[in-house]
Amino acid sequence: MTDKNAALVQGTLDMLILKTLALEPMHAHGIGLRIEQISQGVFQVNPGSLFPAFKRLEREGWVNSEWRATENNRRAKYYVLTASGRKQLKSETRGWKTQSVAIARILEA
Amino acid sequence: MKIFRYLIAGLRELFRRDKTESELNEELNAYVQNAAAAKVQAGSNPEEAQRAARLEMGGMESVKHQVRAVGWEFALEVFVQDVRYGVRMLFKSPLFTAVALTTIAIGIGANTAMFSLVDAILLRPLPYPEPQRLVVAGLHQRGESGMNLMGTTDFLAWRDHQQSFEQVAVLDNGNSFALSGMGAPEQVPGVDVSANFFSMFGIAPLKGRGFHPGEDGPGAPGVVVISEHFWRDHLDSDPEVLNRTLTLDGKQHTIVGVMPASFHFPSRRPVDLWAIRTLTPQMSRPPYGLVALGRLKPGISMRQAEAELGQITAQVNAQFPTSPELVGVMMPMKKWLVSEFSTALLVLLGAIALLLLIAVVNVANLLLARAAVRQREVALRMAMGASRQRVICQLLTESAVLSLMGGVFGLLLAWLAVRAFLAFGPGQMPRLNEVGINSGVLLFTFVVCVGSGILFGLAPAIETSRPSLTEPLKDTTRSSSSASAHRTHRALLVLQVALALVLMIGSGLLIRSFVRLSDVNPGVQADHVVTAAIWLPYKYTDPQVGQFWQQFLQKVQSLPGVKAAGITMSLPPNLLEITNPFTVEGQGYERNRQLQLAEEMTVSPDYFRALEIPLIKGRFFSTSDKVEGKKDPMIVIINETMAKKYFSGKDPIGGRIQTGDPDPNSPWETVVGVVGDVKYSGLDAGPGPTIYVPYNENGWVGWSRAMYLAVRSSENGVDLVPAIRAELANVDGTIPLAQIRTMDELLDESLMQQRFRTWLVSGFAALALLLSAIGLYALISYSVSQRTREIGVRVALGAQRGNVLGMVLREGLWLLMWGMFLGLIAAFLATRIMRSLLYSTSPTDALSFAATSLALVAVALLACYIPARRATKVDPMVALRYE
């Protein structure tokens, strides 16, 4: 994510992280990488946005964290989605869909 | 619940700062390692991958900073950091800090002290349960305004017919008791009240009880409630005080209760005793001497109650067709107690607020001067990446620290000032026992501190953080403030001069008014006169009152050194006891004719000689006027104003008047003399009619129980007091000689409030002038030091001393002119709120405006001249080499 669209997707980044974690627990680098891959390079998440977002989500109680070994045997802090995080993701996804449909309608009108 | 979780998380972070920091470090390192590993997998060589990963991360510190900034605890940490830094910076320049702290402490201390007065007297509700339901009722004549006291007849009608009040009670306005049988007899302040007085307020006694219903019935045994103060001072806090008896006015009273010190009503003067006022139905409507109080029923408004009182008063009007038509009026009790003082208090508070503003401007200017020094440091911080907001925030925290430290000293000063005010200030103000520094006052002080910290910190902070990164860093040889800083500095100075002028004009007006008031001729020769109050107990029958005074006056008259001794019901300049309506022969009796009231008092023949009140026409009273066993002569003496106004073109001597409500059947009294006007209603009162009656006239002798003695002697009057006291004891040993004052003291005391506020405001104005002069001096000095080089060049090119002097002075004068212009406009608009405080002085009095402006110009010129003269001494060679 470049600085230009940072403000626009401030809240969206949280949702994308939650979505990524919904598949499986993941460490910071993996989360950034996955968002970049799935968005086919549209979103490049820099650590300056990523780490504050983790802290925010932890504070909200939507994710937990624990130290684990990575696939290539390094230590990394893995983030795990909590039940309330799952609920939050659901409601945010719903909200986002409603909004994007509405915006699309307006733009096409 | 959410807030709770945030709170816990933030606190945990604060206390485990090291652990979270190392964890974050580890996580960030892991991120870089993972990223590098990924790049190696994608085919980069390991070194290259490591470098790219680090680059991707950006500044490690910056990321950490962003993470830390997520929680609320971060703001707290930053704040604590700023405070610590601020304190350190203040200690680094102790002289600046000392000057700034002193200025702020004085400003905030004065404001806190004044606010604690305003808070206790004007703002806080009365200290009784549900005080908003307490009202005072009174009367005024139809077509008039204001509120006068009630009479017995009106009060009884109201008490018996009203439906709006839970209770109505009554207070006899103005009384004190002669206490005898406990050492020397003395006069103790107190009031007579109805039996339900205490239960209406809803205040429980400290000991014993209030009065029982029925104790104010005729023939009930004498009971009295005493104050905690009296209990302590006169009865040594005797635990067995209840049922002890006091001899008051020669009559036995049983003590039934002790009221706590917090209960003080009426609250303008000391009250130590509350005794019973028995009300019996009267045949006539006057006199009007009762304060009627009531506690409204819940849900009933004062307007409704007032309408009801109006109907009841209308019925009384119908019963007394000769009395003027009266209208019932009500006022919330708090307003009744304090409204007289609100203007003076608010003007004083305003003056002090102005002083604080001036102090704030001075501190702002000090900070601005320091801004030049701080600019390098700030530029360095900004070059390192601090945002401007961050820098401003930090500088503001610093000034808030300064003002809060000043506030702490200010509180100390305020505490001292309040103590001093209560001890030495003018008494006779309501609710002084409630004055103190409480939580409300502390809150006020805190808000004022933070507010002024921001006020004086903001302009310098904005100035210092002006984004010019390279200039201050480059400039190593001298520190100069930017042109805009100089502009701000000058604007603040103009503001300061303007504020100071407003204060000075306010004080000028008060001084002029005070001088005029002090110059008012009271109508008497005040020197060598001593006065005292003597109240005869009710056991004296009317003839005995006459005999007592005759005997006593003869004895005093024959004391060595006594020139003349007289008695009077009222004394100048403001001890007037009663006013009475009157009718001059030839005037009609229609009921709603404009009320004409005269100050009326009984006097003894030598009263006029004792005070040297000049005889203008006719004669004084004489001891031979009344012959025992014969009909009263029915004579009066009137003052000059009354003679001119009501006997114009005629000889007043031999003219006839009636007193009391207009009634053709009232007895006629003949004018035998005209004397000079005397001020009885205060030195600031306009001239009005005065009627003097012989003290022993049958209709009046009963009123002559409570009299003032006035004795003129050839030497210092106070020396006579022991002899007078001995003579009094010879006639009746139970009667105290109370309220001993010389006439000069009485005149002096009557001006206490005015003198106090004049001195106070003048003191503020002097401080304001001093602060502004210092501000001006500092600015011009600074400006001269900045222009040393320029001046050197000018002198080298042939400028004369006069040119240089003029050039520097011009800068100061220009600021002064602007300040005065704004100040004059502001003063012109602001002084009208002082109108009610001024005696025969217009709020836009030209002389006060001009004189204070001149004083300001003189002092300001001096403040500019000193640095300007220094400028003329600049040696061009030195100035040019200096660079």
Asked whether the beta carbons of residue B34 and residue A30 sit closer than 8 angstroms, the reply is yes
Say if residue B355 is in the same domain as residue B412. yes
Q: B671 vs B488, which has greater pLDDT? A: B671
pLDDT at residue B316 in the model: 93
Question: CB of A45 within 8 Å of any CB in chain B?
Answer: no
pLDDT in tens, B566-592: 999 999 998 888 888 899 998 888 776
Helices assigned H by DSSP within B42-196: 46-57, 60-68, 72-92, 94-118, 152-161
Say if residue B605 is in the same domain as residue B721. yes
| pLDDT bracket for residue A6 (50, 70, 90) | very low
Q: B134 lies in a domain? A: no
Q: A17 lies in a domain? A: yes
Q: B496 lies in a domain? A: no
Q: A91 lies in a domain? A: yes
Q: B569 lies in a domain? A: yes
pLDDT in tens, B745-786: 999 988 988 888 899 889 889 988 988 888 888 888 878 877
Cα gap B410→B616, rounded to integer Å: 58
Residues of chain A found within 8 Å of residue B385, distances taken between Cβ atoms? none
Question: CB of A37 within 8 Å of any CB in chain B?
Answer: no
pLDDT at residue B90 in the model: 85
Say if residue B92 is in the same domain as residue B55. no
pLDDT at residue B614 in the model: 96
| pLDDT bracket for residue B468 (50, 70, 90) | low
> Which of B822, B771, B770, B823 is closest to B359 using CA atoms?
B771
Residues of chain A found within 8 Å of residue B56, distances taken between Cβ atoms? 46-47
pLDDT at residue B549 in the model: 95
> Tell me, what DSSP letter sits at residue B560?
T
pLDDT in tens, B315-329: 999 998 878 889 999
Cα gap B763→A40, rounded to integer Å: 77
Provide the domain limits for residue A47. 10-108
If phi > 0 it is left, if psi is from -120 to 50 it is alpha, else beta; for residue B533 that is beta
Say if residue B406 is in the same domain as residue B303. no
Say if residue B702 is in the same domain as residue B580. yes
pLDDT at residue B481 in the model: 53
Residue B844: Cβ within 10 Å count: 14
Strand partners, A64: A80
Q: B480 vs B13, which has greater pLDDT? A: B13
Give the residue from B459, B481, B503 where a domain finishes: B481
| CATH number of the domain residue A48 falls in | 1.10.10.10
Question: CB of A68 within 8 Å of any CB in chain B?
Answer: no
Say if residue B279 is in the same domain as residue B171. yes
Say if residue B720 is in the same domain as residue B624. yes
pLDDT at residue B479 in the model: 47
Q: B425 lies in a domain? A: yes
Selecting from B35, B58, B70 the residue whose C-beta is nearest the C-beta of A55 gives: B70
Residues of chain A found within 8 Å of residue B62, distances taken between Cβ atoms? 48
Provide the domain limits for residue B669. 538-733
Percentage of residues in chain B with pLDDT exceeding 90?
A: 43
Say if residue B9 is in the same domain as residue B156. no
B666 SS3 class: coil
pLDDT at residue B229 in the model: 92
Question: Would you list which residues of chain B are within 8 Å, Cβ to Cβ, of chain A?
Answer: 5-6, 9, 23-24, 26-28, 30-31, 33-35, 37-38, 56-58, 62-63, 66-67, 69-71
Asked whether the beta carbons of residue A74 and residue B30 sit closer than 8 angstroms, the reply is yes
pLDDT at residue A5 in the model: 45
**Mean pLDDT, rounded, for A48-69:** 87
Least confident of A61-75, B194-208, B355-369, B471-485: B471-485
pLDDT in tens, B49-60: 888 888 877 777
Give chain A's domain count.
1
Say if residue B548 is in the same domain as residue B610. yes
Say if residue B562 is in the same domain as residue B689. yes
pLDDT in tens, B192-203: 999 999 999 999
pLDDT in tens, B234-284: 999 999 999 999 998 888 999 999 999 889 888 777 889 999 988 888 888
Give chain B's domain count.
4
Least confident of B230-244, B248-262, B423-437, B646-660: B423-437
pLDDT at residue B474 in the model: 56
Residues of chain B found within 8 Å of residue A33, distances taken between Cβ atoms? 38
Q: A9 vs B524, which has greater pLDDT? A: B524
Q: Would you state the torsion angle of the CA atoms of residues B505, B509, B515, B518, taken in this order, to the nearest 10 degrees?
A: -140
**Mean pLDDT, rounded, for B142-164:** 90
Q: Write the DSSP string, B675-716.
A: E-----S-TTSPP--EEEEETT-TTTGGGGGEEEEEEEESS-
pLDDT at B493 over 50: yes
Please state, rounded to an integer, the average pLDDT across all residues of chain B: 88
pLDDT at residue B367 in the model: 83
| pLDDT bracket for residue B456 (50, 70, 90) | confident
| pLDDT bracket for residue A7 (50, 70, 90) | very low
Q: B642 lies in a domain? A: yes
Selecting from B34, B57, B67 the residue whose C-beta is nearest the C-beta of A52 gives: B67
pLDDT at B101 over 70: yes
pLDDT at residue B494 in the model: 92
Q: B431 lies in a domain? A: yes
Say if residue B296 is in the same domain as residue B376. no
pLDDT at A9 over 70: no
Say if residue B58 is in the same domain as residue B106. no
Asked whether the beta carbons of residue B37 and residue A72 sit closer than 8 angstroms, the reply is yes
> Which of B174, B176, B168, B173 is closest to B195 using CA atoms?
B168
Q: B872 lies in a domain? A: no
pLDDT at B24 over 90: no
Q: B727 lies in a domain? A: yes
Asked whether the beta carbons of residue B28 and residue A47 sit closer than 8 angstroms, the reply is yes
Selecting from A59, A70, A74 the residue whose C-beta is nearest the C-beta of B9 gives: A59
